[in-house]
A = this chain, B = another copy of it.
Amino acid sequence: MAEIKKIKPSLPKGTRDFLPEEVAKRNYIFDTIKRVFRKYGFQQIDTPAIESLETLEGKYGDEGDKLLFKIRSNKNLLDRPEFVPTLKERLWEVYPYNFLPAGSEKGLRYDLTVPLARYVVQHQGDLAFPFKRFHIAPVWRGDRPQKGRYQEFYQCDADIIGSTSLLNEVELTQIYVEVFERLRLKVIVEINHRKVLEAIASYFGLTVNFESFTIIIDKLDKIGWDKVVEELTPLVVEHLALEALSVKSLQRFVFDIYNGSNSWFDVTDKLYKAIPPSDRWREDTWKGIISTLQEVLGKIKFDQEKVKLNPYLARGLSYYTGIIWEVVLDKNKEENKAIQMGSLGGGGRYDNLTEMFGGRDMSGVGISFGIERIYDVMEELKLFPADLGETTKVLFVHFDEASEAYAFEQLQKVRALDIASEIYPGKKKLDKQMNYANDKKIPYVIVVGGDEMASGKLTFKDMASGQQEKLTIEEIIEKLKGN
């Protein structure tokens, strides 16, 4: 590595290093989620970061396509000595992307869903269906970096492919509740169903602009009713030939069925009754909502404080065809009141996932955890345990070569019991060695000097309390095992 010009170390915008403590905290979140996924029978898969552009392009809309990171390698056809380039191939050198043969272009994956679709079709014969998989991995988007938005970030998804049973919806809801309980985050798992939104729209005779309609009413939380009515008016007037007044009646309608009683059964019941019996949506809605949500959620004694129907929740309606989830901080809880944070998770049921790759139609349903945001909230609320289980338990410090050798021998006894332990390597002043323990948050230090070697009683120091006592290595090991 000679003759290298010195450069200032830096990272591309929108990317991050993780310090050891940050990795330990992220692992705590990942491991908690993984344990719950596995408990419910989900299996981990992995796919490469690099996919063919053909696989990625056209799946995320025009805006998404623009955010794809494209890849080329220098090592191309032209490097091969036996290769005589054609004119087209020469031009490729000038503008590589236009002249690459189809299929040889690559990009970094943009999410974990399109790779899942490709994976399911490609490995159909090797998978057990219904296929319950989870995937935790980085994805890349060429978005303008800003606070909390990165170009490289992790996604964490669990999906069930190839089963329309409503039990899947129930179990995914249970997973949401259990994971956030384990992380000690107080959240509300909001649920809606595409058919609820369709029923509301239908009640007002809305047959076009369904997505625009749902996008507006979804903003209720953020902008309030007056603004929603304002935004909805032109849409309703223009396309439904209804008076603005009708929007007011929509407001009353939604308010009435969702009056804060938090009773699921009330809400669905009112919704059913509010829709005129003549309306074709009424029976669909009844089946869609009652059978999907009420009946099924009734089976688990779901906590109505934690799982709520939100009939104006709209999310991903360009692809979700059934249930829709969104997890938000419970703002009724004191500790969450000061925290500004968007949703911590979301999901839904989607049909025809695998169609784009020529697979037979398979319905899928899945949830995802916004682990970057979960991290930020847990940090703000100081919810990470003090001991993340990844830290060294004890450090041996010493004064000279003889005590270092002696300490090294004692260390072997501690390690024989699989207790994470270290010796400070090399000769340094004692305070430097103690600083090392502090910097690494090592809770116990064993001091070895001439006295200790003579008596066989080592100085065992509790770094938190500062207390120290003289103990044999066997006594110390007993203490460490108990911790």
**What residues make up the interface of A, taking CB atoms closer than 8 Å to B?**
1, 4-12, 15-20, 23-24, 26-27, 35, 38-41, 43-52, 54-55, 58-59, 65-75, 79, 94-95, 103, 106, 108, 117-119, 121-123, 126-130, 132-133, 138, 140, 142-144, 151-152, 160, 163-165, 167-168, 171, 299-300, 318-319, 352, 355-359, 390-392, 395, 404-405, 408-409, 412, 415, 418-423, 425-427, 435-436, 439-440
A132 to chain B: closest residue by CB: B422
The CB with the most chain B CB atoms within 10 A, among A5, A8, A355, is that of: A8
Beyond A68-B73, A163-B426, is A17–B319 a contact (Cβ under 8 Å)? no
Q: Which of B6, B15, B58, B126 contacts A357 (CB 8 A)?
A: B6
Q: Which of B27, B75, B138 contacts A142 (CB 8 A)?
A: B75
30 A-B Cβ contacts within 8 A? A1-B355, A7-B54, A11-B118, A11-B122, A15-B50, A17-B119, A18-B47, A19-B123, A19-B127, A20-B43, A20-B133, A39-B415, A39-B421, A41-B421, A43-B390, A49-B152, A50-B140, A66-B79, A67-B74, A70-B74, A73-B142, A75-B142, A75-B143, A127-B439, A128-B435, A128-B439, A163-B426, A171-B425, A299-B405, A300-B412
A133 to chain B: closest residue by CB: B20
* Residues of chain B contacted by A151 (CB below 8 angstroms): 50, 73
A27 to chain B: closest residue by CB: B44
> How far is A419 from B94 in the complex, measured between Cα atoms in Å?
59
- Give 6 nearest A-B pairs by CB, closest first: A73-B142, A165-B426, A128-B439, A20-B43, A41-B422, A15-B48
Q: Which of B59, B122, B144, B409 contacts A9 (CB 8 A)?
A: B122
A68 to chain B: closest residue by CB: B74
CB of A50 to closest CB in B, whole Å: 5
* Interchain CB contact under 8 A, A73 and B79: no
Q: 18 more A-B contacts (CB under 8 A) besides A1-B319, A4-B59, A69-B71?
A: A1-B59, A1-B356, A6-B358, A7-B357, A8-B357, A9-B121, A10-B118, A12-B52, A17-B46, A19-B127, A40-B420, A41-B392, A48-B152, A68-B73, A70-B74, A74-B142, A132-B422, A164-B426
> How far is A134 from B352 in the complex, measured between Cα atoms in Å?
42
* Interchain CB contact under 8 A, A23 and B47: no
* Interchain CB contact under 8 A, A440 and B128: yes
Copy count, this protein chain: 2
* Residues of chain B contacted by A66 (CB below 8 angstroms): 74-75, 79
* Residues of chain B contacted by A16 (CB below 8 angstroms): 48
* Interchain CB contact under 8 A, B52 and A11: yes
CB of A138 to closest CB in B, whole Å: 7
A404 to chain B: closest residue by CB: B167
Beyond A142-B75, A412-B300, is A123–B17 a contact (Cβ under 8 Å)? yes
CB of A254 to closest CB in B, whole Å: 29
* Interchain CB contact under 8 A, A71 and B74: no
Q: Which of B43, B58, B70, B132 contacts A73 (CB 8 A)?
A: B70
A168 to chain B: closest residue by CB: B425
